[in-house]
Amino acid sequence: MNLRDVLEMPGDTMISVKFARELFEGVASPDDAPAMLTVAEFARRISMSGSFVYDNRAELGGIKLGGAIRFPAEAVEEYLRQMQRER
C-alpha cells in the first residue's frame, strides 16, 4: 500500500493519522498496515453473532472496502473496553 492507494480508497475509509503520515513520509510499508478483520472474525472475537456485528458495523468501527466490510483489529479491544465501562 502506498499513498496513491490510500488516496484512491472510498471516501468513508478510515486509516490512522499516524499511518497516513508515515505513508506520506515514505516511512511505512504495506506490512505496517493495520490488521483488518472480516465480519465473521470480528464476531468471533467479541463472542457475538455475525448478524449483530453486521447490523452494528458503523458503531463498531466497520469500514467499507469495495464490497466488503472490514474492522481494524484495534476495534475489538475498543468494543470490549466500552462494554466493561458500561457494566
| pTM of the full structure | 0.60
| 9-20 burial: b if 16+ Cβ within 10 Å, else e | eeeeeeeeeebe
User: pLDDT at residue 52 above 70?
Assistant: yes
Q: Is 33 left (phi over 0), alpha (psi -120 to 50) or beta?
A: beta
- Compute the distance between CA of residue 26 and CA of residue 36 in angstroms, rounded to an integer: 22
Stronger pLDDT, 26 or 49, i.e. the higher one: 49
Stronger pLDDT, 10 or 74, i.e. the higher one: 74
pLDDT for residue 73: 86
